[in-house]
Structure 1
Amino acid sequence: MSNNEKIHGEFTSDEFSRDWIGRTAFAIFHWRFPLLLICIGITVFLGYSARHLEVSAGFTKMIPYNHEYMATLKDYQSVFGGADKILIAVKAREGTILQKDIMKTVKDIAEEVFYIKGVVRSSLKSIYSPEVRYNEIVEDGIKAGTLVAADFTGTPEEMAQVKINILKSDWVGRIVSADMTSTMVIATLGEKDHVTGQRYDLRRIGAELEDIRQKYQNDKVSIHIIGFAKSVSDIAGSANDVGFFFLIAFVLTALLLLWYSGSVMLSAWALVVAIVPVVWLLGILPLVGLGLDPLSILVPFLIFAIGVSHAVQMTNAWKLETLAGCDGVTASRNCFLKLFVPGATALLANALGFMVIAVVDIEIVRELAITSTIGVTVMIITNKVLLPILLSYMRFSASTAQKLGGKETAGKGLWTALAPLASRKGGLIPIAGSIVLTIFGLYHYQFLQIGDQGKGVPELWPKSRYNQDVERITTDFDLGVDLLQVIVEAQGDDAPCVNRSVQDKMEAFEYEMRQQDGVIAVRGLSNFVKSVTQDFAEGWVKWRMLPETVPQIAQGVGFATRLGTEYRNPACNAIPISIYTSDHQAATISRIVAAIKDFKAENDDDEVVFRLASGNVGVMAATNEVVHAADKWVNFTLFASVGLLCLVTFRSFRVTLCIIIPLGIVTLLCNATMAILDIGMKVNTLPVIAIAVGVGVDYGIYLFERVKHEMEDASMTLQEAFKEALVQRGTASTFTAVTMTISVATWTFSTLKFQADMGILLSFMFMVNLFGAVLLMPALAAYIVGDDHYAKKKK
């Protein structure tokens, strides 16, 4: 094709620059109809593929599996059970559990749990279990037996005997509440199906547990269920509300777009190109073997919001071109040439913001990073290629555009009033204000906690059914779900756990742990051996001590075998010490783990090694340590990569500083806000800052690209260039910030507390990032960039 040949009779290749942007633009508009058909075909294909998308969550996806603590969990999971436990409490509404109907209910529930696919059957414990026993000192020695006889039928005499057996045992507060109004069924879940090799579906397990509740809860008993599988199931169930909030956001965005542009078609195209990357993302995920989980299920919502943001910049520029007298194709061409570089750069910054989250060594976070990166990457095609093509088919005249009464040209008075901020004198106020806010942020940042805050599952509201069940179980039982296990490895070939030196160290460790704030109980082999020694001394408390000789210690260890692997492995060279905590708040966990590490540093030797950690609190401790380590790296990598991108785009270290400094202050203020609202830094909230910085840098890139252009090509001063940049793009940036803020602010009404928390934090950062770009960035530029940085020397 010759250079003079028309593109659909509308303009020639001579109207495009010879650089790569011009050649790309010419190719896109020359082939716009085939490209449009290709995009439609891809959307249809990926829309069909999205039907195979699955929403799931596995236990191992949510833990830092490469952390040293998790190595302990993996090494001993098959022996002592994993951290994924289920606790089902059966509570009598009137009287005690020692009623025939209630006892039958407990037995039936235990049998149903036994057959749930995924339950490690040997781990099941209830009042009926053979390993749930009592010991009694009698005239002839020691009498022992199960709490409930195998031939139990529920007669009054048998009920009385069961009560006596319970009181003789050490299961009060563990399996049966002290007032005997509640009893528990406890089980551990396996990691994978041994036949298929697939992870167990926690949502299915949670649903089966809920079916048990619905089947057996009645006017005589209430059923309370807690555990990781149940919490994930409840979170995933509440996550179904995301679709409802997506619909609300779509409707609000559509109304705001119609108000802003005044055109149904412009609003429709903006919504279409915001939805298309969501469809593409959801279709790509099953093709690459990924799905959605309770954390990443919010990503499509964010992709839609970011898509609207960039679409508004394009439609805003297109309408301004038509108001200047351009036809639809020419306006589209001009928009592409003006916005492709800053828009693509901003989207790459978004992608970097998501990609850096992958430094967190937790699978669910890395999948979030991959999912989000795919979403914003495809947006370069949908927003920077598809949208200009769609707009090129619109036929607007300047008079038509004027009649629509949009708000693209609104705010000129405001932007004129803000222009003096780009001067040294005018910039003093925002700079002084930013210093005050930085001091405020630094003060509150010191109170930011790593990990969970409050009781129960923080992803759910305190009044949720799950957290109410947590409250009930922790009230009725001494030993709840919060368990930290330390595995003591004893060296030796023949049952080294019976050596007195090993027992002494374990005894000292158990004693040290009982002194820690937040520890409510400690169970270990040395204390069990001491209790057996007391029993053999006819219960005399003075003999509650460790025996001196190996045979006497072995006698107590032998009794421990009746309890399965609660106190030892078969070789007796690995001994779990169970530490039950009052809660799983970050401060509690860090304090206890610090004490364990101190003891470990002083006592580990060639004979005994204390290994952290198993149990759900052990998993939380590992997660908190990974998040704490990753937090600094995420921020460093994020700002380094975004800074490098700005440096490449603007070829100016000073301009890069002007863009990065406001983002840094906003990040600090977000951390301060989290501390004030008692929102901990953890897996769910760590991505928020990376996402918000990636989105927030858009404002700076769009505005400074115009400043650079006006200073270079129109020889404007910095103040004049900022005023022009704000006139052209300030209104659109403000509109997109308000739109995204309103959209994510609706999350505060979610049944998921962590979604509500993310809504608060993202709303805060979206708006404050705008203020930083519009108010602080020009003030910094006045001192850092100056009038002569880009402006051409006037002849």
Structure 2
Amino acid sequence: MSVNSAIDRIEVSVFRHRGFVVALFALLTCFLVFQASQIRLDAAFTKNIPLNHEYMKTYLKHREQFGGANNVLISVCHQEGDIFNEEFFTALKGVHDQLFFIPGVNRTQVQSLFSPSTRFVEVVEDGFAGGPVVPADFQANEKGLATVKSNIEKAGIVGRIVADDYSCAMVKATLLENHPQTGEKLDSLALAQTLEQDVRKPFEKGNITVHIIGFTKMVGDVADGAKGVVTFFVVAIVITSIMVFLFSRSIALTVLPIACSLVAVVWQMGLLSSLGFGLDPMSILVPFLVFAIGVSHGVQMINAIGKRVAEGHSTKAAAQFSFRTLIIPGVAALLSDTVGFITLLSIDIGIIRELAITASLGVAVIIFTNLLLLPVVISYLDVSKHNQDKQKTTDNWSVMANFSKPGPAKLILLVTVILFTLGFYQSQNLKIGELHAGAPALHEHSRYNQDTFLITDRYAISVDYMSVIVETTDNACTDARVLETMDAFQWQMENVQGVQSAVSLASVMKVINAGYYEGNLKWRIISPNQYALAQALSNIPSSTGLLNNECSVMPVILFLADHKAETIERVVSKAKQAIAELNNDVVTFKLASGPIGVMAATNEAVEEAQLPMMLYVYGAVILLCLISFRSVRATISVVVPLYVVSTLAQWLMTVLDIGLTVSTLPVIALGVGIGVDYGIYILSTMSVKLREGYQLHEAYKQALYERGSAVLFTGITLAIGVSTWFFSDLKFQVDMGILLTFMFLVNMLAALTVLPAIACFLWKNQK
């Protein structure tokens, strides 16, 4: 059976049983509305990291002993003077206790001035003395505060637990993966709300301010910002409705494509819920894209039906003809979109894979809602009043049709080659990772980033740290060779640009060893005497996070100046060099834990996935074009403009200081997948006219008459819709909006200009 005969049978079956088709869609929609109402937000920490990356295997292996990257840091500050007053210590104790009892917090790793593990050691006449920095019988009076201040200085925690200027003190905690009571995955969004309501709100009063950072709090703030997506979605529906009405001049032809696109969104959400998936702050943007893509294909359908009705056909006949002529290019375009999104599954990061599934489902259902349901419903209506200003449109398309003539085509291709060359050269400067300080998902002025900047400014340590794990034999803490190897690694890394400081068991033991010799710096060494090492080690409990109970695993913690892509790349590269030099049969250094370890793994995963993803996307588009058009020339005409626009988009990213990250990498695939629609619709009509014997120029002119208005309209409408994202509270949504606006507009322009210019030379001898 040929493709055309199969389509004819489908057309007859669908339009012969229109009532059944509409009823079936209505039942499915009711069921999926219920399913969609059950969908939940899901922002688990592990979804944001490449779990199979070697760094993350190290991170997960030692997370329980040394804490992970999913930490909460709470800085309690006093706005007037220093922290040594009753008001401050009352607030700090309250924050510590409140955090300690929140379900999901690892209580063994809550650290502050009030933690028993926060201890001081001092040299006295009889040797060493020490104890908790805040004694058990502490009273916030003059004597008690003086004692605590003295203990803080002896403990050497200024810059880590206490701010450099004594204006703040820190409460740190590591979060569990699962809820301790239910056993389910920890709900990051609920925990972020708890931190806001139970920690910040009760204690931030008077002269006390509370500053909270950490992955969970950041995700909570992102989720709050993502709620604005609903507003953007409503705005997009209003703008799109106005644009569709201006295009169709018919209320019915405005309402129907909008309604069918909303049905596609409902189906998408319902299917996601049925499959057990939730929405995270990134994939919550996808329903808007599904709606926009649905409208673009719906406009193609109403455009085709309107033209047939204007020629004197009945609405039902026009709907059947449009269904038959648009089903192949429409399905090809939507399958290109779907396969393009599916290629994102090649990226081993949960949040991107769920984005791929979410987008693929949404685009796939558009095949049913906008290519099948829409023409069936329209066939019941009388849209004979639909009309267009044919003379004006004809004049405009006649001018644009000249792009397919040799003279204008040469000029267009020359400009395209120049732009592509510049874009390709500049795109080589595209950075992998974040290029700005603070949480990249949020604007610099956001509360979260302001809290981050305050903590970074007032403490000697950075919130951007990476732990390099040292694995060795049991009881290696008293092996001088092991400690000297660690010390050599730490010394090399401390001298790398971007590393502010470093700490390890070896460096702490050197300080303690000097303490036994009245603090003489000459004795700040790794003693070759095992008994001296054991004596120093006795002052360092495993609760410090510098060693495990067996003394077989010890981290070297590197504090970085920032988490910019170039800083992470430089530090990780130097760490790999040092590891290759120092690894031996006894000592093995492994990258990496901590927030920077997660970012480094994510950046490497994105870099590794970039080329394969693009090959998969373009491979899928090329294959589908070959199947649809059965022509190499047609495939080249569609794909080359897409590749040029993708390259220019990467150039734009370098100009705007947008790095290639988890949030921006999918945009390239989205842009290619959606951008191919324009070329497919234009070339599908051109191919028919060429087979009918038209010369290329006339074939392109006919394609513009048939499809040009809809292509131009959809490109502008899609761009206007995503351009509203410029006003989002989320920085990553702003970046995505800029890139998608650019790709929607420029892909549309490329389909109307570059595609016919290429075709001019590929069909040079067309009679």
TM-score interval (norm. to shorter): over 0.9
Is 1:671 aligned with 2:657?
no
Contact 1:734 / 1:770 at 8 angstroms: preserved in 2?
Answer: yes
Cα 1:286–1:666 change in 2 (3 A) is same
Distance between the aligned counterparts of 2:648 and 2:538, measured in 1? 59
Q: What is the aligned partner in structure 2 of residue 724 from structure 1?
A: 702
Gaps (5+ residues) in structure 2? none
SS in 1 for 2:169: strand
**CA deviations over 1:660-719 (Å, ceiling 9, x no partner):** 111001001111111111111010111101011111000110011000101112x10111
Distance between the aligned counterparts of 1:126 and 1:486, measured in 2? 24
How many corresponding residue pairs? 765
Cα 1:526–1:409 change in 2 (3 A) is farther
TM-superposed deviation, 1:195: 4.9
**CA deviations over 1:298-317 (Å, ceiling 9, x no partner):** 01000000000000000011
Q: What is the aligned partner in structure 1 of residue 436 from structure 2?
A: 454
Contact 1:260 / 1:407 at 8 angstroms: preserved in 2?
Answer: no
SS in 2 for 1:427: helix
Query: 2:227 corresponds to which letter in structure 1?
Result: N
TM-superposed deviation, 1:17: 10
**CA deviations over 1:261-284 (Å, ceiling 9, x no partner):** 110000000111111100011111
TM-superposed deviation, 1:43: 0.9
Contact 1:128 / 1:147 at 8 angstroms: preserved in 2?
Answer: yes
Q: What is the aligned partner in structure 2 of residue 401 from structure 1?
A: 386
Q: What is the aligned partner in structure 2 of residue 755 from structure 1?
A: 733
2:597 aligned to which of 611, 618, 624: 618
**CA deviations over 1:431-474 (Å, ceiling 9, x no partner):** 01111111221232122111111111111000000000001110
SS in 1 for 2:677: helix
Contact 1:355 / 1:369 at 8 angstroms: preserved in 2?
Answer: yes
TM-superposed deviation, 1:18: 7.0
Q: What is the aligned partner in structure 1 of residue 228 from structure 2?
A: 241
Contact 2:489 / 2:582 at 8 angstroms: preserved in 1?
Answer: no
Distance between the aligned counterparts of 1:65 and 1:216, measured in 2? 37
Is 1:162 aligned with 2:142?
no
Is 1:69 aligned with 2:55?
yes
Cα 1:415–1:163 change in 2 (3 A) is same
Contact 2:65 / 2:545 at 8 angstroms: preserved in 1?
Answer: no
Is 1:365 aligned with 2:343?
no
Is 1:377 aligned with 2:364?
yes
Q: What is the aligned partner in structure 2 of residue 307 from structure 1?
A: 294
Distance between the aligned counterparts of 2:516 and 2:664, measured in 1? 54
Cα 1:18–1:270 change in 2 (3 A) is closer
Distance between the aligned counterparts of 1:187 and 1:409, measured in 2? 71
Contact 1:410 / 1:731 at 8 angstroms: preserved in 2?
Answer: no
Distance between the aligned counterparts of 1:36 and 1:486, measured in 2? 61
**CA deviations over 1:214-273 (Å, ceiling 9, x no partner):** 111112111110000000000011100000000000001111111111100000001111
Contact 1:627 / 1:683 at 8 angstroms: preserved in 2?
Answer: yes
Q: What is the aligned partner in structure 1 of residue 716 from structure 2?
A: 738
Is 1:608 aligned with 2:560?
no
**CA deviations over 1:14-35 (Å, ceiling 9, x no partner):** xx99711111100000011110
Query: 2:234 corresponds to which letter in structure 1?
Result: L
TM-superposed deviation, 1:82: 1.2
Q: What is the aligned partner in structure 1 of residue 337 from structure 2?
A: 350
TM-superposed deviation, 1:187: 0.2
1:532 aligned to which of 503, 509, 512: 512
**CA deviations over 1:352-390 (Å, ceiling 9, x no partner):** 111111110011111110111110111100011100101
Query: 1:696 corresponds to which letter in structure 2?
Result: G
TM-superposed deviation, 1:565: 4.8
Cα 1:424–1:177 change in 2 (3 A) is same
Following superposition of structure 1 onto structure 2, how do residues 363-762 of structure 1 map, counting pairs within 5 Å?
Answer: 363-397=350-384, 400-402=385-387, 406=388, 411-491=393-473, 494-561=474-541, 564-713=543-692, 715-762=693-740
Cα 1:338–1:683 change in 2 (3 A) is same
Query: 1:247 corresponds to which letter in structure 2?
Result: V
Query: 1:504 corresponds to which letter in structure 2?
Result: E
Contact 1:120 / 1:190 at 8 angstroms: preserved in 2?
Answer: yes
2:38 aligned to which of 39, 49, 52: 52
Distance between the aligned counterparts of 1:412 and 1:283, measured in 2? 44
Query: 1:338 corresponds to which letter in structure 2?
Result: T
Distance between the aligned counterparts of 1:412 and 1:349, measured in 2? 31
Q: What is the aligned partner in structure 2 of residue 254 from structure 1?
A: 241
**CA deviations over 1:484-522 (Å, ceiling 9, x no partner):** 00110113xx41232111111101001001001111110
Q: What is the aligned partner in structure 2 of residue 206 from structure 1?
A: 192
Distance between the aligned counterparts of 1:551 and 1:439, measured in 2? 67
Q: What is the aligned partner in structure 1 of residue 266 from structure 2?
A: 279
2:128 aligned to which of 142, 149, 170: 142
TM-superposed deviation, 1:420: 2.1
TM-superposed deviation, 1:603: 1.6
**CA deviations over 1:383-442 (Å, ceiling 9, x no partner):** 111001011011133xx223xxx5688532222112122122221111011111112212
**CA deviations over 1:631-665 (Å, ceiling 9, x no partner):** 11111110011111101111111211111111001
TM-superposed deviation, 1:159: 0.8
SS in 1 for 2:122: strand
Distance between the aligned counterparts of 1:106 and 1:587, measured in 2? 37
Query: 1:512 corresponds to which letter in structure 2?
Result: Q
Following superposition of structure 1 onto structure 2, how do residues 23-172 of structure 1 map, counting pairs within 5 Å?
Answer: 23-172=9-158
Q: What is the aligned partner in structure 2 of residue 7 from structure 1?
A: none
Query: 1:596 corresponds to which letter in structure 2?
Result: A
SS in 2 for 1:64: coil
Contact 2:117 / 2:544 at 8 angstroms: preserved in 1?
Answer: no
Distance between the aligned counterparts of 2:582 and 2:640, measured in 1? 48
Distance between the aligned counterparts of 1:628 and 1:52, measured in 2? 36
* Identity of matched residues, %: 39
**CA deviations over 1:72-116 (Å, ceiling 9, x no partner):** 011101111111110000110101111101101100110000111
Distance between the aligned counterparts of 1:580 and 1:198, measured in 2? 33
SS in 1 for 2:538: helix
SS in 1 for 2:559: strand
**CA deviations over 1:36-86 (Å, ceiling 9, x no partner):** 011011111111111100012000011000000011011101111111110
Distance between the aligned counterparts of 2:723 and 2:426, measured in 1? 23
- Bigger CA drift: 330-339 or 420-429? 420-429
Contact 1:490 / 1:496 at 8 angstroms: preserved in 2?
Answer: yes
TM-superposed deviation, 1:532: 1.1
Distance between the aligned counterparts of 1:550 and 1:434, measured in 2? 71
SS in 2 for 1:509: helix
Gaps (5+ residues) in structure 1? 1-15
Task: Report the TM-score when normalising by structure 2.
Answer: 0.98
Distance between the aligned counterparts of 1:646 and 1:439, measured in 2? 26
Distance between the aligned counterparts of 1:235 and 1:194, measured in 2? 25
Distance between the aligned counterparts of 2:390 and 2:335, measured in 1? 26
Task: Report the TM-score when normalising by structure 1.
Answer: 0.95
Contact 2:719 / 2:745 at 8 angstroms: preserved in 1?
Answer: yes
1:185 aligned to which of 171, 190, 194: 171
Contact 2:664 / 2:736 at 8 angstroms: preserved in 1?
Answer: yes
